[in-house]
């Protein structure tokens, strides 16, 4: 069981890292858009904000007691019978 907990903790850490990477990537894309291209910038800003929310949610879940209720993330998909 201890090995399983370590694997789940590692999985959560990788998911947090991925969420932060995606938020930073979205910010770089937003920053790279010329101000004349407002429509593109607006859609990139929306994506950036979404990625920031995902990264924040990942951090809150981890701080909220990950070790007390370790579960795989993303959750396993249900099997279709």
pTM over 0.85: no
pLDDT tens, position by position, for the chain (81 residues)? 688 888 888 888 898 899 999 999 988 988 888 877 878 888 888 998 998 898 888 888 777 655 445 555 555 555 454
Cis peptide before 74 (omega within 30 of 0): yes
Q: 14-40 in b/e burial notation, b at 16+ Cβ within 10 A?
A: ebbeebbebbeebbebbeebeeeeeee
Q: Is 7 helix (H, G, I), strand (E, B) or coil?
A: helix
């Amino acid at each position: 069981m201890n090995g399983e907990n370590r694997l789940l903790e590692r999985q959560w850490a990788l998911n947090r890292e991925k969420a932060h990477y995606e938020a930073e990537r979205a910010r770089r894309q937003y920053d790279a858009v010329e101000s004349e291209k407002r429509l593109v910038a607006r859609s990139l800003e929306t994506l950036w904000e979404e990625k920031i929310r995902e990264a924040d949610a990942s951090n809150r879940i981890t701080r909220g007691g990950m070790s007390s209720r370790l579960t795989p993330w993303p959750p396993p998909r249900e099997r279709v019978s």
